[in-house]
Amino acid sequence: MPARLVVFACGNRSRGDDALGPLLLDRAETWLDGQTSLDVRTVGDFQLHIEHALDLRGADLALFVDADADCPGSFRLRRAVASRDASYSTHALSPEAVLSVCRDITGGPPPPAFVLGVRGEVFDLGAPLSAAAAEHLEAAWGELESLLGDGRVEAWDRRIGAGPPPVAR
């Protein structure tokens, strides 16, 4: 039986490179249409909120996809561990905070989770996706496709650190 995977993608399509998450989710959903052997749920939103903790229930593995202003390369894959970080005091929770809420309200451990950050630089209202971000999108899609195709935690762990080299700012 395939791993039950939930993929979250965050961002605003009308704020430049903040659209990276939704655009990658569009591609993933199209790709998943032809993959009947996989068990993948997708969740898109502007930002992460407390109720997304409920979407983690029943999942074996979780992936958060988002634009990342601090990403050194085109994309960066990392582990996310439940953590009571400072995003609890805002309306936009971090992946770690969502995992923590899940743990606290369900009383059990959240599923193993990873974050795929994609480098973004321009976030102005009305701005289109930047040319650089369009390139990062292509690179990140290759990574996302690989992750979706092999939903094993150990396989995802092996991909951490094997991403692209830093991009000059």
Binding residues (CB under 8 A) for other proteins: these are: 10-15, 17-18, 22, 43-47, 49-51, 53-54, 66-71, 83-92, 94, 96, 100-101, 104-105, 115, 117, 120, 123-126
According to DSSP, the residues that pair with 76 across neighbouring strands are 117
Side-chain-side CA neighbours of residue 19 (13 Å): 19
Q: Based on CB atoms, which residue is closest to other proteins, 1 or 125? A: 125
Shortest distance in whole angstroms from residue 3 CB to other proteins = 24
Amino acid letter, residue 13: R
Nearest distance in Å: CB 168, other proteins: 18
Contact call for residues 20 and 140 (beta carbons, < 8 A): yes
Q: Which is nearer to other proteins, 3 or 32 (CB)?
A: 32
Rounded Cα–Cα distance for residues 58 and 61 (Å): 9
Residue (91 or 158) nearer to other proteins, CB: 91
Between 96 and 111, whose beta carbon lies closer to other proteins? 96
* Residue 24 · residue 9 · CB < 8 Å: yes
